[in-house]
Amino acid sequence: MTATPSEIPPLKLHTKVFYALGSVANAVKGRGLATFLMIFYNQVVGLPPATVSGVLMVALIFDAFFDPLVGQVSDNFRSKLG
């Protein structure tokens, strides 16, 4: 028997904080990579900031469309090897 939403107690603040801490490392990595990529391509390679931003935008849009598709394929892939 499953509990109805009214029977489930709300989460405590410390539980929410501990769940949120799991994404901090991913966010720091993502922001750091994007920031240093921008500096590298702009100052070392010599591309204009608008070009670097545009390329990063295209990559993120591509990623947003294809990640769910690849996830769907990998979740439903069946083979004799497992």
Q: What percent of the chain has pLDDT over 70?
A: 96
User: Does the residue 31 lie in any domain?
Assistant: yes
pLDDT per residue as tens digits for the range 20-34:
888 888 888 888 887
User: Does the residue 40 lie in any domain?
Assistant: yes
The three state secondary structure string of the chain is: CCCCCCCCCCCCHHHHHHHHHCCHHHHHHHHHHHHHHHHHHHHHHCCCHHHHHHHHHHHHHHHHHHHHHHHHHHHHCCCCCC
d(CA 67, CA 61): 10
User: Does the residue 24 lie in any domain?
Assistant: yes
Look at the pTM and tell me if it is higher than 0.75: no
User: Does the residue 6 lie in any domain?
Assistant: no
The pLDDT assigned to 60 comes to 87
Please report, as a single letter, which amino acid is at residue 61.
Answer: I
User: Does the residue 70 lie in any domain?
Assistant: yes
Q: Which domain holds residue 69?
A: 13-76
Mean of all residue pLDDT scores within the chain: 87
User: Does the residue 4 lie in any domain?
Assistant: no
Question: Number of structural domains, the chain?
Answer: 1
d(CA 75, CA 82): 12
pLDDT per residue as tens digits for the range 58-78:
998 999 999 999 999 998 888
User: Does the residue 57 lie in any domain?
Assistant: yes
User: Does the residue 48 lie in any domain?
Assistant: yes
